[in-house]
Structure 1
Amino acid sequence: MKSLLRILLTWLVIILFIVTVFIIYNTKEEKYINNGEDAPIPESLHPTVDKQLNKLLEQSKGKNIDIVITAGLRSKEEQNQLYKKGRSKEGNIVTHAKAGESYHNYGLAVDYAIRNKKGEIIWDMNYDGNGNGRSDWIEVAELAKDFGFEWGGDWSGFKDYPHLQMTFGLSIAQLQEGLRPKTEEKQQD
């Protein structure tokens, strides 16, 4: 009788564990939506990227650094034209990403430059326009990381110093399959 009771209790514990795991798994907050492979390309920056970008612009201005956003959301056609630079078109290679292979194509990335005191837009990583002894470019990259951006200058392979992105944990392959980060409004639904 004791062994039968022990077996029943063991099975009861196992069943309760499985039910608990099932409930937790099915009630977790989803951070992504899946629109399938035919998911439309966004028409603007993701709201979180835009919000954090505005904070970055404000903080940079407070440090007397004038940053200029030179690229945001990029169409597939624009991406392919950039990819051709240094290959089938004149110029230096500026990207290794073809259409659909860049976070720009999904509204999750921006590129920046610095406006100097003469009003010129420059890509000089050593420029110290605010005179604090530090590169304005690096100061912006550090601020951006504080706001959740990844900086292309930290990449181990091709260094993309003007590039900032938020991946939301999604790979390019997942974005190509139609997965998209939810917006704050959609997460509350």
Structure 2
Amino acid sequence: MKPNTLGKIIFLFLILFLIFIFSYQFIERHRELANRPLPTELHPIVAEKKMKLIDLASKQGINIIITDGFRSFEEQDILYAQGRTNDGAIVTNAQGGQSYHNYGLAIDFALQLEDGQVLWDLTYDGNNSGQSDWMEVVEIAKELGFTWGGDWEHFPDYPHLQMDFGLTIRELQRGYRPGD
């Protein structure tokens, strides 16, 4: 066997060995991620920003109520069935596992009047600032790092605020979490 041929065989073997090692590590990482438990509550940063949102809105004379936060897959499926197989209007296009609520990364809000009445009125100006209270809350939320569902083109979700931390739903489904 020529020395040049032996060198090529060794080089090829090393390349194949490295591909095997990296493939094994990749598979093990994905196996580890897939076995991660699902969150059961709001992510700590989302929970903190939620409280700041309530406080900052209150300082502008706007009372808000958080109408939803973390939502299990089962709860999501019940909402998804609304307007489809159950009575009511369609309120979501996301099935269980397809919503940032399912990973503790989203909240929904509404305005709350002093008498306890809850409003989903995007034009109401209860603090007489000349701007709708809803949009004032949205501005505060965006400053805190939330993305607003009202900006979505295909299915605007006006009460929805989320922090995705740069993760897609697909990545969350695969087990990735903020900070990975």
What is the letter of the counterpart of residue 90 of structure 1?
Answer: D
Structure 1: gaps (5+ residues): 1-32
Deviations 1:51-93 (A, max 9, x none): 1111111100100100000000001110000000111111111
Q: Which consecutive segments of 4 or more residues in structure 1 shift more than 6 A?
A: none
Letter paired with 1:92: A
Q: How does 1:119-138 map to 2 (within 5 A)?
A: 119-138=116-135
* Alignment-mate amino acid for residue 83 of structure 1: Y
**1:24-173 map, 5 Å:** 35-173=32-170
2-structure distance, mates of 1:40, 1:111: 24
Amino acid at match of 1:154: D
Instruction: Please name the residue that 1:21 is paired with.
Output: none
Partner-residue secondary structure (3-state), 1:110:
strand
- Give the Cα separation in 2 of the matches to 1:126 and 1:64: 15
| Percent of aligned positions that are identical | 52
TM-score by length of 2: 0.80
1:69 aligns to what SS in structure 2? Answer: strand
Alignment partners' CA distance in 2, 1:38 and 1:66: 40
Q: If the length of structure 1 is used for normalisation, what is the TM-score?
A: 0.77
Higher relative CO (Cα under 8 Å, sequence separation at least 6) belongs to: 1
**Alignment gaps of 5+ in structure 2:** 1-28
User: Would you say how many aligned residue pairs link Structure 1 and Structure 2?
Assistant: 151
Asked if the contact 1:117–1:129 (Cα under 8 Å) also holds between the matched residues in 2, the reply is no
2:65·2:111 contact (CA, 8 Å) conserved in 1? Answer: yes
1:23 corresponds to: none
CA contact (8 A) 1:125 1:138 kept: yes
